């Protein structure tokens, strides 16, 4: 049976497309005050392209989002060796991660879709059998979408599930360098040349990672050694306490023309910002190669490589039997040309 695509939302409101292949968020169409719509998520020409193109476009990634150094981690006196897929390291759960799997539809309605996936003991090197879930839910009253992540394990295991869409709020594929981004974070995680965090927490004060006030993405790209290592932004920000509790927006992104804004809320402690530094290796819905920086990914998550940092594991990434994962992210869109009320 071929992978399916499900449309959620109302005729006059926010509409999204989700597939059971990788539980992928394929499309997000935001209605505008003038009666038009903007497609704000980058995609490919077909579902098959999502398996052949690099970049994890729209996928739910796991078991562990982002990078794990040396594709290994210690736990309860034993070293667990994972399947590497980025040099010596593991990225987004390995070469056969959750983005490659066919998820099972558990429940669906006009505004929601709940998908589940079983990952057996030893999958990509991870210990314990894991049952993961993600629920997409479109708000019927406003331009908002919530993703809820859940997981249970039969043995201790680090887990970090997140969504990996690339956003372009201009509604096209031109570089997003004119987008303005604000991130509620006074600190960030610097990385080694292989993009693994050094273990330090750096203050962002005054540098290219100081996004506490909205700034153009293009203004910070290429500034400093950290930017050169990632080809732009590809770093995890340490969310301020209120943002990490979901009490204030973790990030706000505004389109180049200033018309469309998107606020992201979450209860994860970290936010990976990736400025589409390698999307030019993929093709868009028209089958043509995307330009570099055609989209930006904003990925709520536990810190990358946290399984190798005891203090970071205390944030909650280590699941044990009877201690499940329950995290969420919410996106709110705002057409700023709409009249209040």
Could you list the active site residues?
Answer: 164, 299
Going by C-alpha positions, the residue among 169, 172, 173 that lies closest to residue 282 is 173
With CA atoms as reference, report the closest residue to 163 among 57, 303, 54, 51.
57
- The torsion region of residue 51 among left (phi > 0), alpha (psi -120 to 50) and beta comes to alpha
Q: Are strands 5-9 and 15-19 parallel, antiparallel or unpaired?
A: antiparallel
The single residue listed with the structure tokens 């402690």 is 269
Q: Work out the angle at residue 235's Cα, subtended by the Cα atoms of residues 229 and 240, and round it to the nearest 5 degrees.
A: 150
Omega prior to 299 cis, within 30 of 0:
no
Longest dimension (CA), the chain: 61
d(CA 331, CA 30): 12
Q: Are 61 and 24 in contact (CB under 8 A)?
A: no
Radius of gyration of the chain (CA): 19
Q: Write the DSSP symbol of residue 89.
A: B
CB 259 within 8 A of CB 178: no
- Return the residue matching tokens 């919410």: 330
116 burial via Cβ count (<10 Å: 0-12, 13-18, 19+): middle
């Amino acid at each position: 049976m071929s992978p399916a695509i499900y449309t959620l939302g109302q005729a006059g409101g926010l509409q999204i497309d989700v597939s059971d292949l990788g539980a992928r968020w394929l499309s997000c169409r935001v209605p505008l005050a003038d009666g038009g719509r903007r497609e704000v998520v980058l995609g490919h020409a077909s579902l098959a392209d999502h398996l052949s193109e690099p970049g994890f476009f729209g996928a739910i990634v796991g078991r562990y989002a982002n990078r794990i150094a040396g594709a290994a981690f210690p736990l309860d006196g034993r070293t667990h060796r994972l399947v590497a897929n980025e040099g010596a390291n593991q990225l987004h759960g390995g070469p056969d991660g959750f983005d490659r799997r066919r998820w099972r539809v558990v429940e669906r309605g006009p505004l929601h879709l709940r998908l589940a996936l079983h990952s057996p003991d030893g999958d990509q090197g991870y210990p314990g059998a894991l049952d993961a879930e993600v629920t997409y839910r479109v708000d019927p009253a406003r331009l908002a979408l919530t993703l809820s992540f859940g997981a249970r394990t039969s043995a201790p295991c680090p887990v970090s599930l997140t969504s990996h869409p690339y956003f372009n709020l201009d509604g096209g594929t031109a570089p997003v360098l004119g987008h303005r981004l604000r991130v509620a974070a006074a600190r960030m995680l610097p990385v080694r040349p292989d993009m693994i965090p050094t273990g330090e927490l750096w203050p962002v004060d005054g540098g290219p990672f100081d996004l506490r006030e909205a700034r153009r993405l293009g203004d910070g790209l290429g500034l400093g050694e950290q930017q050169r290592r990632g080809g732009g932004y590809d770093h995890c920000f340490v969310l301020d306490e209120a943002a990490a509790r979901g009490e204030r927006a973790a990030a706000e992104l505004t389109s180049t023309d200033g018309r469309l804004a998107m606020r992201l809320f979450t209860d994860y402690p970290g936010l990976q910002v990736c400025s589409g530094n390698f999307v030019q290796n993929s093709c868009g819905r028209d089958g043509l190669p995307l330009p570099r920086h055609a989209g930006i990914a904003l990925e709520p998550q536990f810190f990358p490589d946290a399984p190798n940092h005891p203090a970071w594991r205390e944030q909650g990434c280590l699941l044990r039997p009877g201690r499940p994962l329950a995290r969420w992210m919410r996106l709110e869109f705002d057409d700023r040309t709409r009249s209040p009320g």
